[in-house]
Amino acid sequence: MITRIFFMVGRRALAFLSELGGILLMFFQSMAWTFTPPFRLRNLIKQMEFIGVKSLFIVVLTGVFSGMVLALQSYHGFRKFGGESLMGGIVALSLAREMGPVMTALMVNARAGSAIAAELGTMRVTEQIDALQMMAINPVQYLVVPRIWAGVLMLPLLTAINILVGIIGGYFVGVILLKINPGVFMDKMINMIELSDLVQGIVKSVFFGLILTLIGCYKGYNTYGGAEGVGRATTEAVVISSVCILIGTYVLTSLLF
């Protein structure tokens, strides 16, 4: 009985390590292929459009509402000891350091991370990846590298936009709906927020951009078992990336400050 438990735990641990090893291997391969010609700028731009431009709407939408709800929550919380005036600062700080990067990453993950896994997974099971290899084209260079760089480049941008519209949403709720003095709102915000807060948010978003594209690519690339396999790869990619994003934000927060 005890040995069986050890056996099962051991096998799980091994599976986990081999998965982690595979992901790291893909990361290093991508880095190596990034600096090997030919450079596939067209693929990169296409992926930047897919990950960046097409996520814009959802990122703006979630940004506005995060800002609004943050403003509302902090108003009710701080009113208890007369600290409503801190609202501008609280909203901006939470958005820049935590909400902005995490919400953006989770939304882009749901939209683009899953799509990446599904697309590469379909290409795998319909032998399109084999066909690339057959034509003497490295699939990691052709498919994975542009997606990873698109994620790393676009996530900070999307995050910045998310934070900005979040602040606008917070301003709307605080100043227009709850009648906080606009001068005070802006003043507190500018006083409380420092450059390092913004840097922290952006550093996180770069890391999240890497995580969600890398895991999406890894899961898609290693799909097996037909249409069912593609479904499985997609779900796993989204779940694993989301968990990594949430664990990652904790780890990064404690490392950066």
- 34 binds other proteins per the rule CB under 8 A: no
Q: Which of 130, 194, 225, 256 binds other proteins (CB under 8 A)?
A: 130
d(CA 53, CA 205): 16
Stretch that binds other proteins, among 74-82, 126-134, 175-183, 185-193 (CB under 8 A): 126-134
Q: Which of 128, 153, 187, 231 binds other proteins (CB under 8 A)?
A: 128
Of the candidates 250, 181, 194, 239, the residue with the CA atom closest to the CA atom of residue 212: 239
> Beta-carbon neighbour count of residue 219 at 10 Å?
30
Q: Smallest distance, Å, CB 199 to other proteins?
A: 37
d(CA 19, CA 249): 21
CA 149 to chain centre: 13
Nearer to other proteins, 94 or 141 (CB): 141
- 126 binds other proteins per the rule CB under 8 A: yes
- 134 binds other proteins per the rule CB under 8 A: yes
Stretch that binds other proteins, among 50-58, 71-79, 120-128, 209-217 (CB under 8 A): 120-128
Q: Which of 18, 133, 181, 253 binds other proteins (CB under 8 A)?
A: 133
- 127 binds other proteins per the rule CB under 8 A: yes
- 135 binds other proteins per the rule CB under 8 A: yes
User: For residue 215, what are the contacts with CB-CB under 8 A and spacing of at least 6?
Assistant: 23, 113, 117, 237, 240, 241, 244
Stretch that binds other proteins, among 133-141, 153-161, 194-202, 204-212 (CB under 8 A): 133-141
Q: Smallest distance, Å, CB 127 to other proteins?
A: 4
- 131 binds other proteins per the rule CB under 8 A: yes
How many Å is the Cα radius of gyration of the chain?
A: 21
Nearer to other proteins, 63 or 139 (CB): 139
- 136 binds other proteins per the rule CB under 8 A: yes
Q: Which residues bind other proteins (CB under 8 A)?
A: 123, 126-128, 130-131, 133-138
